[in-house]
Structure 1
Amino acid sequence: MPIPRRRALANLAGLGALAAFGPALAQGAAYPSKQINLVVSYPAGGDTDALARLYAEKLAARFNQPVVVENRPGASGTIGNAYVAKAAPDGYTLLFTPNTISIATLVIKAGPSGPAYDAVNDFTPIIQAGSQSLFLVVNTATGVTSVKELVEAAKAGKIRSYASPGSGSPMHILGETFNKAAGVQIAQVPYRGSAPAIVDLVGGHIPFMYTTLGPVAQHIASGKLAAIGVADAKRSPLMPNVPTLAEAGYPDVLVGAWQGLMGPKGLPQNVVRTLNTAMNDIIKMPDVIPRMTTMALVPVGGEPAVLGRANAEDHKRYSKLIQEFGIRAE
């Protein structure tokens, strides 16, 4: 065989080998090379949606690719969660979620229309963006100024109900946990989200609720509402004058919230690293920190394992509480 022909055949063989490895090399080197869809399993306008849009804006600028928030609400978040769990693990369909992902499958009855995913094993953790404290907030017209006074009013029959953003939410779990610890029977009034609950709370139609700080901050500032307790191990840096429920005598009443970024199971490690690095930088940006503070989110960040542990621990702990109290989503 003439030498030029041999060389040509060798070159073709080399090109064939490169073609075989080409897709893998391209994926590892080029991510992201197209639009990323960031799924939020709740309607537009809430804390999770607002945070997702903030991070999407920053990720798009960093990656020079569109990052589009896609709202897929319904069934306590399980519709959007299931959509991401079944998506291709290529980094182009992601989930931005509160810790209700750890709870939703526990409070929805199994069946043909029930959750079609495992909250712990069917997702790849990327980063815990931040944590949110849950506060006990009262209408100041009740005259209640402390957790002690609230318990006394409940035992005297003066306070009979509390609002939550929905059955099976972390706020509902907190309410039932507090009831047991304080020896009271305060009935939950579930709403379809925080916004309508807050309207009724400010209007005096319900005496108090369990909530994150962001949606009620303006009403606390105006004096219509007052935060009298926080369900964390230590006081919130956002409201350091509000005592913990442990300080009020209920050390075991600890229920919090968090927001995190996840992908489908099997997300490649190079994609996880790229997203984790970007998000760790974003949550430290001088223009992002105050916007997170407005939504009462304390930055967490760190390695993906931080989110993985938080999700697994919440799932395990809340499964026991949900079973004990017989909590079910509507």
Structure 2
Amino acid sequence: MPIARRRALATLAGLTASAAFGPAFAQAAYPSKPITIVVSYPPGGDTDALGRLYAEKLSQRFNQTVVVENRPGASGTIGNAHVAKAPADGYTLLFTPNTISIATLVVKSGPSGPAYDVLNDFTPIIQAGSQSLFLVVNTSTGVKNVKELVEAAKSGKIRSYASPGSGSPMHILGETFNKAAGIKLQQVPYRGSGPAIVDLVGGHIPFMYTTLGPVAQHIQSGKLAAIGVADPKRSPLMPNVPTLAEAGYPDVIVGAWQGLMGPKGLPQNVVRTLNTAMNDIIKMPDVVTRMTALALVPVGGEPAALGRINADDHQRYAKLIKEFNISAE
């Protein structure tokens, strides 16, 4: 065989081997340094608790340090913008509730407003789970059910409610329920669920719309009571709590989810590595137990599923936000 032909075949074989093994080498190289998971809310809420749980498990799986960094403020847009602008290398990620789908619709644009496009500036990795939203009252109000809550609102006994931030699913639920019930309760927005729950337990605010996890211990202690859930069916986690449909408000259905994202342009091998790891992690018995305690139903699946639900929520809530004229500074 001519020397030139032998050299050409050797080169072709080398290229073929590189193509075959290149992706494996690229995947094996990630992660090679510590990973930061940004949570755009203060410590104390379920997003923070879940972020830390997944960070611990990812750290064990990757044999790399994985830390949570809290960057709260402006309905989550401060932390979200930080991740959107981060290098697309897989070392700065975002663990977020579905408030991310909504926040840019309510936070004013400008120097202090959101500097990202929620549909185009992030790479979806996985939807970790879904959550129900509950109406939770301080038992000192004497309110025992949704009917009594509406009566208390109409009589002026209760005038406001807490939410973890303007434009959050909880805020939208509050305004949707206001309209359905014919009441005008004023939202008191907080910088996350943690601070709101402190004031709720302390009696500084009469009730709030919230996921179950952060308030479960206070419900068990008797300081708080869940009186309704904004799902089509009763939650298996609290089957004694009636739906808002049962209370006479069938159209008041608002839920929540939690998901992991990265900056736009995240390499596919990094997305695959993280998605595979997270799909395994949310099936671990101890993780399922912890997620159940935080009232999160594991979901998992492909990255595209998170992209779809994010886009669907953005479109759906845009209509509600316009209808209720919801905004935030």
State the shift of 1:12 in Å: 9.7
Equivalent residue for 2:219? Answer: 220
Equivalent residue for 1:157? Answer: 156
Amino acid corresponding to residue 285 of structure 1 in structure 2: M
Question: How far apart, in 1, do the equivalents of 2:320 and 2:14 lie?
Answer: 60
Q: Deviations over 1:211-243 (max 9, x none)?
A: 111221112111121101011122112111111
User: Is 1:57 paired with 2:56?
Assistant: yes
Pair 88,190 (structure 1): closer, same or farther in 2 beyond 3 Å: closer
Question: How far apart, in 2, do the equivalents of 1:59 and 1:199 lie?
Answer: 30
Pair 49,82 (structure 1): closer, same or farther in 2 beyond 3 Å: same
Question: How far apart, in 2, do the equivalents of 1:7 and 1:305 lie?
Answer: 45
**Correspondence list, 1:70-81, <5 A:** 70-81=69-80
RMSD, matched Cα: 2.8
Equivalent residue for 1:174? Answer: 173
TM-score where L is the length of structure 1: 0.89
Equivalent residue for 1:119? Answer: 118
Pair 201,42 (structure 1): closer, same or farther in 2 beyond 3 Å: closer
Unaligned runs of 5+ in 1: none
Partner SS for 1:60: helix
State the shift of 1:182 in Å: 0.7
State the shift of 1:141 in Å: 2.4
User: Is 1:234 paired with 2:252?
Assistant: no
Pair 21,79 (structure 1): closer, same or farther in 2 beyond 3 Å: farther
Question: How far apart, in 1, do the equivalents of 2:34 and 2:205 lie?
Answer: 45
Pair 10,256 (structure 1): closer, same or farther in 2 beyond 3 Å: closer
Equivalent residue for 1:205? Answer: 204
Partner SS for 1:177: helix
State the shift of 1:101 in Å: 0.7
Equivalent residue for 2:32? Answer: 33
State the shift of 1:198 in Å: 2.5
Q: Deviations over 1:109-167 (max 9, x none)?
A: 11133211111121111111011211101122222211112112222332222222232
State the shift of 1:92 in Å: 2.4
CA contact (8 A) 2:291 2:297 kept: yes
Q: Deviations over 1:93-121 (max 9, x none)?
A: 22111111111111111113321111112
Amino acid corresponding to residue 301 of structure 1 in structure 2: G
Moved more, 83-92 or 235-244: 83-92
Count of residue pairs the alignment pairs up: 328
TM-score where L is the length of structure 2: 0.89
Equivalent residue for 1:300? Answer: 299
Question: How far apart, in 1, do the equivalents of 2:144 and 2:289 lie?
Answer: 29
Q: Deviations over 1:234-267 (max 9, x none)?
A: 2112111111111111111111111101112222
CA contact (8 A) 2:163 2:190 kept: yes
User: Is 1:89 paired with 2:88?
Assistant: yes
